Structure 1
């Protein structure tokens, strides 16, 4: 009779460990990045939703979103290195010419369909024609909201100052000032306006999406040091973001639920705003030359720069192309 050699418990354990080591795939740690978001916007909640949906993980990235008060604060965070990426406004592209070591790497959104002019319920203001000489609250000096007010005034034939824009900070601060009679209206997002209307605190008067068709309302910025030293990470971050956009568009119910929970708004108010977000969102980040021209002129109008900068000071087409 053939006698098989007996294996000791220790021997069997060693073999098991060896098999696990042989067949197990090596664990690769995800790249951790901090992405700043400028101001309060429904769109920024997509970053966190992308994590919950497992999208960022597919590209080997772990994203920490950092909410910041506005473009100026976000650009400061990019300068200090506190964040590696920043989601800001089109006019924020001018900060690179002022020495900020970050530049636009992709267009995030086109026309400003997410913005409205809002007034208190009993206001006599009913249309754009009623806004001449009115005091309209905006977030900060040099902001996207300030430019929108000035552009509206210019298009109405009143010059850039035919409507008085007053930097007042956060939406809630502006609402308080409006109720106190210090403002005649404010520039707010569609979702914020919808929330005000549900609570009978204010009402929307004018959607600003038709105001300017060729524009990049939101832009993604990356630190130039990161672009130079780790372009692969920048490319993967862009893929992760646009995969997230595609997922949210394909799963609207999920998008509404997650954004409502993140912003602490009702799902009904987010529902009213979601289509506007989808309409303005870019699917691939391509740069629009006409939009770049409009942003260049806005930088001078807002006093961010003394003259229009060359295009390579505003953005790089290293990761996404320019639309022909």
Structure 2
């Protein structure tokens, strides 16, 4: 069974060619219909379960058809959720809360990962920048406004006590565009996920300057969000998706070599890059979706730190804990 990848236009209009099979079918036992999932970036380890779960058949056996909608960054995940194109989204913690506070009727329903070490800053191989201080006054590429990469570039200035304008954030797009901008000198660095940095180092095209593990603490890295309508009207489908997601993560944790082989095929990276990425990132993936209270509080605080809100939102405004912990039996 293959997941359908549906293109999202930048204006957030309806998915071309997508069908709504089952979306109004309710939550009948054994036939949960189709659920559409906005995925912030395709080639990144933390979202690997979106495709690997399809390969493993974890949703098919639950009577759920999953349609992955690939977009450029968390900002476009929010667009897809707001327009009703998708039922669920895989997105950055702060970006999801930003969307909710901006009126997108949705809630976080499960944790993907809470440690920000999975995200890194890449600079040219021969760049004179040797540490975080060297980024002051530089242009840093991000995928899109409102994306996780945008949020993290902004976080550097907060962490360092700089003005927000001390780093110029450039909305570049995907990884190929980031590399082109870096090589042309249009940017001095870019923010991306770890596997890209490892691949560029292997190819001699870049160098990993830093990760964000020490920059962002007690927070939510990325999570799964659901539209309020899906939570209300299709609770069983949402629950089945989460069960399949965490079954996949548990499978990945228990089957290193098999997961690495799937990464090599899915991401078109070398065995070495896939192995380094797996070892760097696997322990950060949540096995049951639970978000500790300290991380929920940190997420609420971060939206103030980043200028998203003037005061910390109440946790219940963005978090629905009814689905966790998820028991993901095979």
- Choose the corresponding residue for 1:51, options 29, 50, 54: 54
Q: For residue 191 of structure 1, what is the aligned residue in structure 2?
A: 195
Relative distance call for 1:158 and 1:75 in structure 2 (3 A) is closer
Q: For residue 174 of structure 2, what is the aligned residue in structure 1?
A: 170
**Contact 1:113/1:279 (<8 A) preserved:** no
**Structure 1: how far apart are the matches of 2:173 and 2:317?**
28
**Contact 2:32/2:236 (<8 A) preserved:** no
Q: For residue 71 of structure 1, what is the aligned residue in structure 2?
A: 74
**Structure 1: how far apart are the matches of 2:144 and 2:303?**
14
> What whole-Å deviation, never above 9, does each CA across 1:122-166 have from its counterpart, x for those lacking one?
111112232222221122223222222232333334344443333
Tell me the C-alpha RMSD between the 2 structures. 2.1
- Choose the corresponding residue for 1:293, options 292, 297, 304: 297
Structure 1 residue 39 and structure 2 residue 41: aligned?
Answer: yes
SS, match of residue 104 in structure 1: strand
**Contact 1:59/1:239 (<8 A) preserved:** no
Shift of 1:301: 4.2
**Contact 2:158/2:305 (<8 A) preserved:** no
Q: For residue 18 of structure 1, what is the aligned residue in structure 2?
A: none
**Structure 1: how far apart are the matches of 2:181 and 2:55?**
37
SS, match of residue 55 in structure 1: coil
**Structure 2: how far apart are the matches of 1:247 and 1:195?**
24
**Structure 1: how far apart are the matches of 2:161 and 2:53?**
43
- Choose the corresponding residue for 2:83, options 72, 76, 80: 80
Q: TM-score, normalising length from structure 1?
A: 0.84
Shift of 1:58: 3.4
**Structure 2: how far apart are the matches of 1:90 and 1:233?**
22
- Choose the corresponding residue for 1:263, options 267, 281, 298: 267
**Structure 2: how far apart are the matches of 1:78 and 1:85?**
7
Shift of 1:302: 3.9
Q: How does 1:142-161 map to 2 (within 5 A)?
A: 142-161=146-165
Q: For residue 254 of structure 2, what is the aligned residue in structure 1?
A: 250
- Choose the corresponding residue for 1:128, options 107, 129, 132: 132
**Structure 1: how far apart are the matches of 2:75 and 2:159?**
27
Q: For residue 179 of structure 1, what is the aligned residue in structure 2?
A: 183
**Structure 1: how far apart are the matches of 2:52 and 2:147?**
26
**Contact 2:155/2:306 (<8 A) preserved:** no
Relative distance call for 1:236 and 1:142 in structure 2 (3 A) is same
> What whole-Å deviation, never above 9, does each CA across 1:56-83 have from its counterpart, x for those lacking one?
2333322222211122221222223221
Q: For residue 228 of structure 1, what is the aligned residue in structure 2?
A: 232
SS, match of residue 213 in structure 2: coil
> What whole-Å deviation, never above 9, does each CA across 1:232-285 have from its counterpart, x for those lacking one?
222222111111100011111111111221122223212111123212111111
Q: Number of residues paired by the alignment?
A: 295
Relative distance call for 1:197 and 1:183 in structure 2 (3 A) is same
Structure 1 residue 207 and structure 2 residue 211: aligned?
Answer: yes
Structure 1 unpaired stretches of 5+ = 1-26
